[in-house]
Chains A and B, each alone.
Chain A
């Protein structure tokens, strides 16, 4: 890239010029694409002063949007985590017909646009859809209420945990679990004492990703939420609403809260990792996790 036509070809990474160019390139990109927008959000959020920021955040609709987003995450993330672990466990530790198909199906939400998920839910639960009338006569409300928002968020983030776990668990193989079982451990015991310690970092990472995505999800939720402010407006929807109202400072204030929630998630993850790294690793954890995990993490 930086050095054509020199006497001896430098090994990648040895050449100080190359290293500097590469580093500058990465730093500039990170600065422009990630740091700068975050700084802008922070600056714009306080552009009308701290008092205005406080008032914007304290507005009942904004507070409710924050609450709703957190509640959605509190419901969707544990369910998806349980699903992800179960799916990864089933796929990597057992053999059954249709396994490959299952892997493909789990990954569908990754490749499908969230808006498609939202519209699909309309077709299933909407009044013009399959179960709409039945649900209405039973007075069960799914669309334009919390259950719809949770379902849409869950659809979009369903693969996150499984996706982190499957490659790792495949690399680890089944030896340890088979050994545990042959020594008489029950299924639950095997899972909690053998498998879980081996996958916990990948699991944590999957949960963090899943959580940030649930809290930030816009497209699918936008279709099924009904945008009732103070009731079904999640934080991302609320940000858009404020922005369209020419309430730039308010929308940036709300955006800074959303970014803040994401940062809190990351801090929690790092803190947990630190705490975990400080402890003495159990032999079972040494067997696979530490050699494989770095490849899985970006």
Chain B
């Protein structure tokens, strides 16, 4: 009995110490495949700011946003979905206008849906049009459950809109053809990678360029090669200070200098080393060989913004449902 009481007391004791002095500590809530990237970024940042600790939380960014709203005390967010920061705005955790507080729409680095094919590119896959060919099997996760695959869907749609002069029937036919070439729709990017790499299904996997590089790095650069299509959709990795938390903990200055660091040459270089494209001209020039030229279109120009996209494409009964359902 006494032991139980002691344990209870211990539990409460463990519960107590929070946010006592926060200014030398930051919690960065980030997306799920960014662990190694931010491990490297944080190490470099801490070297410049001795005595500072950066804690990291990783998970799907919708889940992360939800957790912050429920009380996860993250000072900054580094997400891969703009809409999930908008969710924080809606709940009063991030102030409006966050995209103007840091350069490039508050996105320190960027990427886009790109291709990874098997060594030697036996099916000669060069562009989105090849994905609709009858002899090509394509792998990407289910756009209903994966944010990554939504980008793929949108990028393919953006290509088709240009190629078919915005003719909705032809665009839909093109996208349906690509969907028909997908043998399995996994629920997430990681599962799709397993399908492509370990079960050896499909001729090409579509995911962010940065991701194609880490897959090749992990599973053998002699087994795969990266193919960059003619055009793709800009994928931003938005960052923001979580104003409500930062003000409560007095960590705003540190949070600001942390996010600024991601834009500084050193931070940019690390991002580039992990396969992300960066805005810093010097760093971009240094990594030019690894990043073939590509024309990127953005969500606002092609689709009129995320809000419109979710209404037209991803809402129940939207275009995606029509295409996905017709399979």
Chain A residues proximal to chain B, CB less than 8 Å: 75, 78-79, 82, 122, 125-129, 132, 136, 139-147, 150, 226-232, 241-248
Contacts and interface: CB of A to CB of B under 8 A. Distances in A.
Contacts of B33: 244-246
Contact of B69 (A128, A229, A245): A128
Given A78-B3, A147-B11, A229-B56, A139 B70 contact: no
A227 B27 CA distance: 11
Given A126-B69, A128-B70, A241-B35, 18 more contacts: A78-B3, A82-B4, A129-B70, A139-B16, A140-B16, A144-B71, A144-B72, A146-B11, A146-B15, A226-B67, A227-B64, A228-B57, A229-B58, A230-B55, A241-B58, A244-B190, A246-B215, A247-B218
B285 interface: no
B147 interface: no
B42 to A, nearest CB: 11
Contacts of B57: 226-229, 232
Interface in B211-231: 214-215, 217-219
Nearest to A231: B55
B218 A246 contact: yes
Nearest to B37: A245
A246 B55 CA distance: 21
Main SS at interface, chain B: helix
B73 interface: yes
Interface centre among B12, B217, B218 (most CB of A within 10 A): B218
Given A132-B71, A229-B35, A142 B214 contact: no
A196 to B, nearest CB: 15
B59 interface: yes
A78 B15 contact: no
A132 B73 CA distance: 13
B232 to A, nearest CB: 22
A154 to B, nearest CB: 11
B7 A78 contact: yes
Nearest to B53: A230
Which bracket fits the contact residues of B? 35 or more
Contacts of A146: 11, 14-15
A125 B71 CA distance: 9
B145 interface: no
A210 to B, nearest CB: 15
Contacts of B64: 227
A230 B57 CA distance: 9
Contacts of A125: 71
Interface in B10-27: 10-12, 14-16, 18-19, 27
B32 interface: yes
A127 B71 contact: yes
Interface string B279-290: 000000000000
Nearest to A82: B4
B56 A228 contact: yes
Contacts of A129: 70
B36 interface: yes
A147 B27 contact: no
A144 B73 contact: yes
B71 A147 contact: no
A122 B7 CA distance: 23
Which 6 A/B pairs are nearest by Cβ-Cβ distance?
Answer: A126-B70, A246-B218, A127-B71, A228-B57, A226-B72, A141-B18
Contact of A79 (B4, B14, B56, B219): B4
Interface centre among A78, A143, A146, A226 (most CB of B within 10 A): A226
A136 B58 CA distance: 23
A208 B12 CA distance: 26
Contacts of B219: 246
